[in-house]
Chains A and B, each alone.
Chain A
């Protein structure tokens, strides 16, 4: 696989349209569903373009092993895992350096919004499964995880939407897809707290100028806000299904 920079591919055409038909400021189609798993305390399923992500939350519950307990607050344990069939070539299953990193940054981003002080000594376990990957899975995973946390009824200050912006073919683009990520020049995933505009996750891979970077952040924050509305909508839908069904039956 060729990773960065060099390609003859035209990623953005002369009209500013990308290979999947989007403009630079458009994110991929998003589908969010809350409460999809019965046995977990909270869960969410997220599709962002071709990414398919499942997140499940347990807790707060007693923390095992005991030495990880924090007597002042709950800890968040996150496990990000890619399925063997999630990418083109079979991914060797199990933990690797990349998934450890993503688990860590996700847990840290969530720790910032969850009111962990309410549950000393407890543990909140977040499991993120990538079923299908197409660039931007850490953002999709974090987006799903925060919906799952809210679905689990865990007290938190806000939901965290996450989205990437980047540079490909010399253009600053929102929500890179696989081709743009692989053959592009930079990728900047961010996650924000929409109520305060704080950034809880910021990474960068590749090179851009300061101006391009500022523009990318601006785009990504805008994308996050749109995603935030969809997250809230998914949570509301979870609790209105019953009454809607009832309305339907009344009409018929």
Chain B
């Protein structure tokens, strides 16, 4: 909660020339800027973030997408890869559908606009959605993707991470269970050290038994 000298960065404020933290988090000093990495809190969208959302409502020319932010994100028909006639929105995306989107812009009054018009952005069919704290996303990805790559390899699942803490997993049911448990474990123990190793052990314990079962079935 206290700071000294330097420049005030993200999540901080100045009080009588002293930098103080605006939120509960870990201080991070880079060059001469002090910022605070949050330990919790709501996801606040930033331009360029890739997020996963669920369709909340359909309108005449847009969809309302819940991206776990304090504000709903409208997806306009001009921002989808299909040509949608007015009123036909629900033929393409319906309430409950999951989509992967990119945050186009967040204006000064925090109005969000999102797009689905870039490569890789699409409607997510099948699979399941799990939600974790957005602050733990980088932990699940790991150093240069090591953690998520390991989970993908061991469970044979397709996994897409949204910056908002929403994760989409698709694969065999048992493997999805294992991947879900692994990610929940990371979410719960994000502060602990040597996590990649432990998650690996955990998955190796979960998966081989299941592979044997599958072989027996065959």
**A residues engaging B (CB < 8 A)?**
41-42, 59-62, 71, 115, 119-122, 150-159, 195-196, 232, 235, 239-240, 242-243, 246
Contact = CB atoms under 8 A, between A and B. Distances in A.
A62 B11 CA distance: 21
Contacts of B109: 71, 120-121
A60 B42 contact: yes
A39 B38 CA distance: 19
Contacts of A152: 40-42
Pick the most buried of B15, B42, B109, B190: most chain A CB atoms within 10 A of its CB: B42
A155 B22 contact: yes
A155 B10 CA distance: 11
Given A119-B110, A157-B13, A158-B1, A239 B23 contact: no
Contacts of A242: 188-192
- B interface: dominant SS: loop
Nearest to A149: B24
Interface string B1-29: 10000000001010100001011110000
Contact of B70 (A122, A157, A239): A122
20 contacts: A41-B41, A59-B42, A59-B70, A61-B42, A62-B72, A115-B13, A120-B110, A121-B110, A151-B24, A153-B23, A153-B38, A153-B41, A153-B42, A154-B41, A155-B11, A158-B20, A232-B1, A242-B188, A243-B193, A246-B192
Pick the 8 closest A-B CB pairs, nearest first. Answer: A153-B41, A153-B40, A60-B70, A155-B22, A122-B70, A242-B191, A150-B24, A155-B23
Contact of B23 (A60, A119, A121, A154): A154
Contacts of A154: 23, 41
Interface residues of B, number: 26
B130 interface: no
Q: Output the residue of B11, B22, B192 with the most chain A CB within 10 A.
A: B22
A137 to B, nearest CB: 25
Interface of B: 1, 11, 13, 15, 20, 22-25, 38-42, 70-72, 109-110, 135, 188-193
Contacts of A155: 11, 22-23
Contacts, number: 75
B22 A115 contact: yes
Contact of B39 (A61, A62, A157, A239): A239
Contacts of B23: 150, 153-156
A243 B20 contact: no
A152 B24 CA distance: 9
Contacts of A41: 40-42
Nearest to B108: A120
B40 A151 contact: yes
A248 to B, nearest CB: 12
A46 B177 CA distance: 37
Contacts of B11: 155
Contacts of B191: 239-240, 242-243
B20 A42 contact: no
Interface centre among B15, B39, B40, B190, by most chain A C-beta atoms within 10 angstroms, is B40
Contacts of A151: 24, 40
Contacts of A122: 70-71, 110
Given A122-B71, A155-B23, A240-B191, 14 more contacts: A41-B40, A59-B42, A59-B70, A61-B70, A62-B71, A62-B72, A121-B71, A152-B42, A153-B41, A195-B1, A239-B191, A242-B192, A243-B192, A246-B192
Contacts of B70: 59-62, 119, 122
B132 to A, nearest CB: 13
Contacts of B189: 242
Contacts of B40: 41-42, 151-153
Contacts of B22: 115, 155-157
B206 to A, nearest CB: 20
Given A60-B42, A119-B70, A153-B23, A195 B15 contact: yes
Contacts of A42: 40
